[in-house]
Chain A
């Protein structure tokens, strides 16, 4: 099944997230990730929802979302030329014997070390989902103690 990324423009009102999340649960659609934040207009929030499903499922999701009074606009950015970004924080085991090696990986991915502990490092990386997957895979042999991903945000390129 294909992954679709939907940018959902909504009223910045209490309960809107619940309305959207409830709709996905009730109709049986699976959310891969959901991020939400305000936009340049403080009365409007933007959700980026990654959802799995074939085209007919995505069509239903879109139509059902449009029926919510608080949903203003939906853009399927899956097939658009868009910038996709995700941020990850990874706490990885790092004693003296492996630190240099980890620093090298961090450099390759243009990630950053944001905290140094006695035997661990916290690494911050941003990028599209495949890059985040790759850095996660590269660090996992050292032992990942904790990991958190923000989920994807997207923006269509150009003036569109």
Chain B
């Protein structure tokens, strides 16, 4: 069969099971778009390439499949960069196709030329520049393989225009991917599992610390089984939200800088931490010297380089979290909790519940909005967030039931992520309610994607917790810079209701607490277009409790 490089590319996508891609056309990617014109692959046209990358990422997080995005060369490709870095930090499987100038022009500073493989080198799991049409099939196959196996991550494939235009004889590649330097991790060290089981059997104050790896390996059922079988309390990272039900009696909620006091106290008193699919990020450990001082640590992770990177580990187990937890569970009989540990935790829960103060100005409290969103959706919605206070309040006050229901930029902390990610999640899950919990700062970073959401009739609900500040920065300025509010007042802002209407979306403004429920009911009933709800909230509400920078987990500010 004689095919153009671009047609081969689409054939390969179909072989990988790709039915939806997010992209934006341009000069050097024209051959691919010409092939898409007569293809049954669904292409979602975004309004900015960053939106394509985040949407592909949101699609991947909501489904566990590899997200795919496409851009042209030069500025199109560089516009993907923030989205690629976001996916890299959170280990999200993604393949990004970028147009490139023809092979004869590479290195000549041609129009819209950028060295995107060079630029994305430190923020991709791997990347490729395809130099021959004959290599398209093998490289695309390898790209998907690398993106989704072991610790997942984004892969960039750069497509010179002439490589996409050239016609060759094409036979589908049947052989498995065989790379000398990249092997899929299989199995794990059973001896280490036995050591871990012994520690668990003898632990008096165990805690499970679960992260994004539990979700990536679909290990939530195994996690729940381990927790329930041995009555071990579970705290999750931001990336791990949804891996364990928030309302479960063993749930400690989130730990770390803005975690619950009881989660952080439990880490401080624990004698055994079972760390599953986590990387001991600084937002979790706080001051490393004071992290879990009394505990031995079992660390389960697919990435050997994470073991011992930040914290010394007693029992490392390199392997797939799901398989390792299954093996641990097989070796453990059910047992009641030892001694007073759960009672101690319950006492902390009673003493330091997650609460928020009433508004001093009679305004809406942002945490109240998040709680009501939960009441309206009962943990069945997919929640995406922007970054800042909105992100932390969403994690603290929404109650999660399912994995893949909390989609947030944890590692890179990308403002402007939540809305395009919500678009990707809504495309992936048309029957779910998808809600972006946003701030008035973040939402303006990718507000152009309203055009996309309206075009594809996506009923994403954007809840702007509008305090007319860059709230998290303001909070830090208040706490650590003597309230010198340097360039955080963004009260000069558009009328979000009119803005929504200008795009053909629905806009609702809510200024009183009594109006929250009605607005949510109205928004959640919409099925054919996005809705912005502009909640005018208490301007100086803070995210508490909080471990101040440089502090230890046990010493938190506020929220008591």
Give chain A's interface residues, CB within 8 Å of chain B: 10-11, 14-15, 18-19, 22-23, 26, 56, 59-60, 63-64, 66-72
Contacts and interface: CB of A to CB of B under 8 A. Distances in A.
Nearest to B126: A69
Interface string B300-316: 00011101110000000
B441 to A, nearest CB: 29
Interface string B121-165: 110011001000000000000000010000000000000000000
Interface of B: 117-118, 121-122, 125-126, 129, 146, 179-182, 303-305, 307-309
A70 B181 contact: yes
A116 to B, nearest CB: 41
A63 B180 contact: no
A71 B181 CA distance: 5
Nearest to A65: B305
B121 A59 contact: no
A133 to B, nearest CB: 34
The list of the 3 closest CB pairs from A to B, nearest first, reads: A63-B305, A69-B126, A69-B182
Contacts of A23: 122
5 contacts: A10-B181, A18-B118, A59-B308, A68-B181, A69-B126
A72 B117 contact: no
B117 A69 contact: no
Query: Among B126, B180, B303, which residue has the most Cβ atoms of chain A within 10 A?
Result: B180
Nearest to B150: A67
B308 A19 contact: no
Contacts of B303: 67
B122 A26 contact: yes
A22 B118 CA distance: 10
Query: Among A26, A59, A68, A69, which residue has the most Cβ atoms of chain B within 10 A?
Result: A69
Contacts of A67: 125, 303, 305
Contacts of B182: 69
A95 B146 CA distance: 62
Contacts of A66: 304-305
A15 B182 CA distance: 17
B180 A19 contact: no
Contacts of B129: 14-15
B174 to A, nearest CB: 22
A23 B308 CA distance: 18
B305 A60 contact: yes
Given A18-B118, A22-B122, A69 B305 contact: no
B122 A69 contact: no
Contacts of A10: 181
B158 to A, nearest CB: 11
B499 to A, nearest CB: 40
A64 B305 CA distance: 6
Given A56-B308, A64-B305, A69 B179 contact: yes
Nearest to B122: A26
Contacts of A72: 180-181
Contacts of B309: 60
Nearest to A43: B180
Contacts of B179: 69
Nearest to A25: B122
B181 A15 contact: no
A18 B121 contact: yes
Nearest to B318: A63
Nearest to B131: A14
Given A63-B304, A63-B307, A72-B181, 19 more contacts: A10-B181, A15-B121, A22-B121, A22-B122, A26-B122, A59-B308, A60-B308, A60-B309, A63-B305, A64-B305, A66-B305, A67-B303, A67-B305, A68-B181, A69-B125, A69-B179, A69-B182, A70-B181, A72-B180
A102 B129 CA distance: 52
A114 B408 CA distance: 64
Contacts of A18: 118, 121
A51 to B, nearest CB: 16
A11 B178 CA distance: 13
Given A60-B309, A63-B305, A69 B181 contact: yes
Contact of B146 (A11, A56, A69): A69
Contacts of A70: 181
B121 to A, nearest CB: 5
A17 B125 CA distance: 16
A137 to B, nearest CB: 39
Nearest to B123: A26
Query: Among A18, A19, A60, A63, which residue has the most Cβ atoms of chain B within 10 A?
Result: A63
Contacts of A63: 304-305, 307
Contacts of A69: 125-126, 146, 179, 181-182
A145 to B, nearest CB: 36
Contacts of A64: 305
B48 to A, nearest CB: 27
Nearest to B142: A69
B503 to A, nearest CB: 40
